[in-house]
Homo-oligomer: A and B are copies of this chain.
Amino acid sequence: MLEELPVVFKYHVFTCFQQRPPGHPRGSCTTSGAKPLWDRLQAKLGAQPLPDVSMTATGCLGFCRAGPLMVVYPQGVWYAPRTPEDIDEIVQSHFIDGNPVERLIIVPQL
């Protein structure tokens, strides 16, 4: 049955906006500088609409020390971008050209 379900988004991107106070032992993506990166991602996707790419803001995705974190489904690709240029590269290489950016991929450990 599942095989019959259409793919709604080719790339559904979930970006962590979790915020904890500075000094919190778990840290958080926002205190690690996530927001300017996700703002950049949103602006890039808005400037060059890609109808099969959707971006959704989330609370904690876990793996807080590795943040800022985003995950792309259904492929299950976890990215830890650090700079605006990293975001630009993910958009161009992965979402437009279809080539994941290996150097920014992380594999979270449960």
Give residues in A with beta carbon < 8 Å to B: 1-2, 5-8, 12, 14, 51, 54, 56-62, 71, 73-78, 100, 102, 105, 107-108, 110
B residues in contact with A75, CB < 8 Å: 2, 5, 74
Dominant secondary structure of chain A at its interface with chain B: loop
The docked-state distance in angstroms from the alpha carbon of A74 to that of B102 is 19
Find A5's partner among B6, B76, B110 (CB 8 Å cutoff): B76
Number of copies: 2
B residues in contact with A54, CB < 8 Å: 62
The docked-state distance in angstroms from the alpha carbon of A61 to that of B6 is 17
B residues in contact with A102, CB < 8 Å: 1
Contact A8-B110, Cβ < 8 Å, known A2-B100, A56-B58: yes
B58 and A8 within 8 A (CB)? no
Q: Nearest Cβ distance between residue A59 and chain B, in whole angstroms?
A: 4
